[in-house]
Amino acid sequence: MPDLIAQGASRWRRGLPEIAAGRDVLLGRQPQSSPPPASLSSSASNRSAYADVGGGAVAAMGQPQKRHIVAIPWAVPWDPTISRHHAVLTMLSGDRLRVTRDPRARNPIFYRGKPRDQFVVVPGEHFVIGETTFTLARRPGFTSESDPSPQAAMTPSPSIRRGLVPEDRHELDDDANLTPDYIASSKNYEVTEMAFAESALRQRNFHDTQARIELLARLPDLVAGSISDEELFARVTDVLLRATPASSAVAIVRADLKDGLIPNPDSQESLPEMEILHYDVRDNNSTSHDVSTKLVAATLHRRDSVLHLWETAHTHNHSQPSAADYTATENIDWAFCVPLRSEACRGWVLYVTGSRAAMLTSDASINDSRTLVDRLSDDVKFAEVVGSLVSGMRQANQFQQRHAAMRRFFAPVVLDAIAGTDSENWLQPRECELSVMFCDLRGFSRTSEMHSDDLLVLLEQVSAALGVMTKHILDTEGVIGDFHGDAAMGFWGWPLPLPHGTDPMVAASAAAARAAADIRRDYATGATDFRCGIGIASGKAVAGRIGTVDQVKVTAFGPVVNLASRLEGLTKVFGVEILVDDVTARHLVVPDHPEPQSAETADSSPGTIAAKTSGATAVTTRDGFHLRTLGRVRPAGTKNPIEIFQLIVPMENHPQLTEAQLRLSEQAFAAFGEGRWDDAYQQLHELPAWDRPKDVLLQRILQYHRVAPADWDGVLEFPK
């Protein structure tokens, strides 16, 4: 895949899209991914420039087919002579690039010294717009050899270099604190590998301290000002090229460390897959040299910076090379790699390569191996500093992004509790006691038909209504579990116990009651077109980061989650806003006695709550709401029947059942469950006509002519 290099007041180098992607690049000062205006594209003068650049599709009546650009916008903001939309770049086979002048461009595009509306460039060629030169360059690949330069002799005469020449070896070890290691090659050149301990590099002083300090002083602003990884990579490689005068190219490479370890590059084990994240060269017209996988692997294996020096056949006898022996396009005889030590840059290295000839040109005092390595040690140390800054910045950014992402799911009190801990450990799935709530918006189908021509308005209304629900989930220290179109799921009891010993079931009911009241109030005032249905169930579940290799999310899993969803569905059947299961209902009831109940008492039979209301008032929850039993049901997809309860949330100016009517409802539902359907029929008819739950029982009673079936077990079935 080739790169395009823009050189003007500023400079960037970016990879072009692969042909298979079928996308173009829209080049300009502020480009957008859109076709040109009809007024421009239809004019005769612009047809040739904006006809189907794919090669000849022609519309009816002989008019050229206008190409609709699905483009990647590329901004060149520094050059005012470049129009907002100036050129369309299309990748062709063989790393060729077709450049088509956009009809909206004010200034011409110069290719080979002449203005052209359309032309094809190959790697090494360039074109000019205004004051900016664009050069097409090949991106390097990888080589398994230690010497990535293209001119290395291919004669298979193995040579092993056992360290530096004897007179230099002791001086080098004592002065530079280097740890030599050696590798063999199948070519007729010799390679010396040296590893730099991080601690030793920190103790070194730069030879050109002032120049390095000036670069380092500007580095934080350059790096921190990057709004994307692409911009960060471009700035880092540019800094390293300027800070390392003898360098020819700089790359940022990522190795796929799936198993967390990398084998010794000298072993027979296969090396991991590698990717060049960014690459830049000092000379736009120079050859792109491949990256040595052995050097990258050695760096990651050692976890220290590693330098490779090699000598070709005409220099390995230690004769001083002349400048004529090298060219900018052919000579590469050293490279070093610096690891980026942070989880955010796992498997990343900075790769710098260059030539001794460039060092001889800039500093004639470099006349032996000791001085050469000493000067390169400065460059390695500077790259280490750059790498540390990049690693730290990306780690901080990743933490901020993770924190922002978690804020969408966790209440602030939960985030504060796990701050400073290993979030990965907290997110691991584990079994715990949860209270799970599903909320679904009523009236979505009707509203979607009304806004079928403006789906963005529909989305805003749905988001606003669900936002009411998620606000109350977070306000009660719950976790946002998932979204399903017009429904939301939340849960309580994970990852930490709720503060102040709050019961997760009480928190769930409080969130549900407040959300239902707010949504009902908005509906009454015309602020929303939606009502809501909420189901709450409690029990054991697995919560955490759950998913597949391709997609993960923070959610809960288990039968209790399915039950909460089923209860939410039953709110439509019974015509109520909130249904809770019997486990949740038991925890919402205000105790009759101040002393705590035992586990056996808390797990009493399903009829315990109903028995409390017999001949008295309805059950009152801790928050002052009422619980009304709706009998025993078997929701779709479940095996065991459960007793369900309506959580009644009073609201001003809305009809409510009186205490007497609640007692009557309790007696009617009890008679229905016991098979006394004639009694239940009479009692249900005494309830108000607007009371929807009674209609479910009346329909079943009339279906069987007010006589319970012989096999009646008191359970209402709700099959799929």
Give the tens place of pLDDT for each residue, 433-479.
889 989 888 776 666 666 666 666 666 766 777 777 778 888 887 88
How far apart CA 574 and CA 590 sit, in angstroms, is 25
The architecture that CATH gives domain 2-138 is: Sandwich (2.60)
The per-residue pLDDT for 413 is: 56
Over range 74-84, report the average pLDDT.
Answer: 90
Residue 622 pLDDT level (bands cut at 50, 70, 90): low
Over range 176-184, report the average pLDDT.
Answer: 39
More reliable by pLDDT, 378 or 683: 683
The per-residue pLDDT for 601 is: 41
Query: End-to-end CA distance of the chain, in Å?
Result: 54
DSSP class of 430: E
More reliable by pLDDT, 151 or 707: 707
Q: Two tokens at 510?
A: 């409080």
User: What angle separates helix 677-684 from helix 659-673, to the nearest 10 degrees?
Assistant: 160
- pLDDT, one tens digit per residue, over 684-720 is 999 999 999 999 999 999 999 999 999 999 999 988 7
Nearest alpha-carbon partner for 716 in 654, 653, 638: 638
460 by DSSP, 3-state: which?
A: helix
Query: Residue 417, class by beta-carbon neighbours within 10 Å (0-12 exposed, 13-18 middle, 19+ buried)?
Result: middle
Judged against a pLDDT cut of 70, whether residue 627 lies above it is answered with yes
Q: What is the DSSP string of 656-695?
A: ---HHHHHHHHHHHHHHHTT-HHHHHHHHTTS-TT-SHHH
Nearest alpha-carbon partner for 368 in 648, 137, 164: 164
Judged against a pLDDT cut of 50, whether residue 23 lies above it is answered with yes
Judged against a pLDDT cut of 90, whether residue 40 lies above it is answered with no
The per-residue pLDDT for 589 is: 79
Over range 516-545, report the average pLDDT.
Answer: 82
Pairing between strand 291-292 and 142-143? Answer: parallel
DSSP class of 655: -
Largest CA distance in the chain: 113
Over range 222-236, report the average pLDDT.
Answer: 76
Query: Residue 611, class by beta-carbon neighbours within 10 Å (0-12 exposed, 13-18 middle, 19+ buried)?
Result: middle
Query: CA–CA distance from 75 to each of 6, 14, 354, 698 (Å)?
Result: 11, 11, 31, 69
The per-residue pLDDT for 714 is: 93
Which numeric CATH code is attached to 429-595+606-654? 3.30.70.1230
Judged against a pLDDT cut of 90, whether residue 120 lies above it is answered with yes
Query: Phi/psi of residue 206, each to 5°?
Result: -70, 145
User: What angle separates helix 209-224 from helix 369-407, to the nearest 10 degrees?
Assistant: 20
Break the chain into its structural domains and give their ranges: 2-138, 142-397, 429-595+606-654
Average pLDDT in the chain? 75
- pLDDT, one tens digit per residue, over 534-590 is 999 999 999 887 766 555 677 888 999 999 999 999 999 999 999 999 998 888 876
The per-residue pLDDT for 532 is: 86
The per-residue pLDDT for 616 is: 33
Range list of β-strands (E), 178-312: 178-182, 184-185, 190-196, 247-255, 274-281, 291-292, 305-311
The per-residue pLDDT for 669 is: 94
- pLDDT, one tens digit per residue, over 630-642 is 999 998 888 889 9
How far apart CA 224 and CA 202 sit, in angstroms, is 23
The architecture that CATH gives domain 142-397 is: 2-Layer Sandwich (3.30)
Torsion of CA 577, 580, 585, 587, to 10 degrees: -100
Total Cβ atoms within 10 A of residue 303: 11
Residue whose token pair is 């959580």: 647
> Which range, 149-163, 392-406, 500-514, is most confident?
500-514
DSSP class of 411: -
Nearest alpha-carbon partner for 338 in 197, 215, 234: 197
Judged against a pLDDT cut of 70, whether residue 185 lies above it is answered with no
Residues whose CB is less than 8 angstroms from the CB of residue 104 and which lie 6 or more positions away in sequence, other chains included: 36, 37, 40, 83, 84, 85, 86
Query: CA–CA distance from 127 to each of 78, 108, 114, 390 (Å)?
Result: 17, 11, 10, 33
The per-residue pLDDT for 165 is: 35
Q: Two tokens at 448?
A: 């979607």
